[in-house]
């Protein structure tokens, strides 16, 4: 897909040169399946995950908690 190729180009251009922040509701373990093409998924994850400072947030959604309290 054009989107995965464009994403790969962006990551490739920034890799080792600039900081990149990515926020996702999907766990990193699910990215291969979502990206879809194994080679591109491997390349993207190799550039992002191995040098990343990851913050994995667990627990219920804050929106759900706030809704339940009101």
Domain positions in the chain: 2-69
Q: Considering the entire predicted model, what is its pTM?
A: 0.68
- Residue 17 phi, psi dihedral angles, 5° rounding: -120, -35
Using CA atoms, how far residue 3 sits from 29, 36, 62, 70, in Å, is 20, 11, 30, 40
CA torsion angle for 23, 29, 34, 39 (degrees, to 10)? Answer: 110
Per-residue pLDDT of the chain (70 residues; tens, 9 = 90+): 679 899 999 999 999 898 899 888 888 889 889 888 899 999 999 998 888 898 888 887 777 777 777 6
């Amino acid at each position: 897909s054009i989107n995965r190729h464009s994403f790969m180009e962006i990551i490739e251009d920034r890799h080792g040169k600039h900081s990149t922040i990515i926020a996702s509701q999907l766990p990193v373990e699910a990215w291969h399946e979502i990206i879809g093409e194994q080679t591109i998924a491997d390349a993207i994850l190799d550039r992002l995950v191995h040098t990343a400072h990851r913050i994995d947030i667990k627990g219920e959604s804050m929106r759900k908690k706030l809704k339940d309290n009101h």
